[in-house]
């Protein structure tokens, strides 16, 4: 019985060490971002984008978790999207101050 408990504790110890190593490796590979640094992501959009809301919300969530001190700006570059995609991008730009839409047809 004690060997079973000892085996279980060794398993938990191995899991803990593995998690520490994984976190350390993630910390090593994360780029250093200074406070207030601005990241600009340009998403060129064309045609119908079925999952554009998911993509933009995922980007915002990932940056808020991994780079909380970073100022994010997402530009949805309209290269001829359909009405539904344009409507979604406009709604997201109203919901999030970091999302902006830019229509190439009216810009040039």
Phi/psi at 23 (nearest 5 deg)? -65, -40
| Cα–Cα distances in angstroms (integers) from residue 94 to residues 63, 74, 89, 101, in the given order | 19, 13, 9, 10
Question: Is 2 a residue whose pLDDT tops 60?
Answer: yes
- Burial of 59 per CB tally in 10 Å (0-12, 13-18, 19+): middle
Phi/psi at 102 (nearest 5 deg)? -135, 120
Find out whether 66 and 98 touch, Cβ atoms under 8 Å: no
pLDDT 10s digits, 5-64: 999 999 999 999 999 999 888 878 766 666 678 889 999 999 998 899 999 999 999 888
Chain centroid to CA 66:
8
Full-model pTM: 0.65
Give SS3 for 68.
Answer: coil
């Amino acid at each position: 019985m004690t060997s079973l408990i000892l085996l279980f504790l060794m398993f938990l110890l191995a899991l803990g060490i593995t998690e520490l190593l994984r976190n350390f490796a993630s910390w090593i590979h994360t780029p250093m971002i200074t406070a207030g640094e601005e990241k600009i992501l340009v998403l060129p959009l064309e045609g119908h984008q079925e999952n554009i809301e998911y993509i933009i919300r995922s980007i915002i969530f990932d940056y808020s978790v991994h780079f909380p001190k970073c100022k994010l700006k997402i530009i949805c570059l309209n290269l001829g999207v359909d009405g539904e995609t344009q409507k979604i991008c406009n709604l997201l730009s109203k919901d999030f101050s970091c999302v902006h839409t830019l229509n190439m047809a009216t810009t040039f």
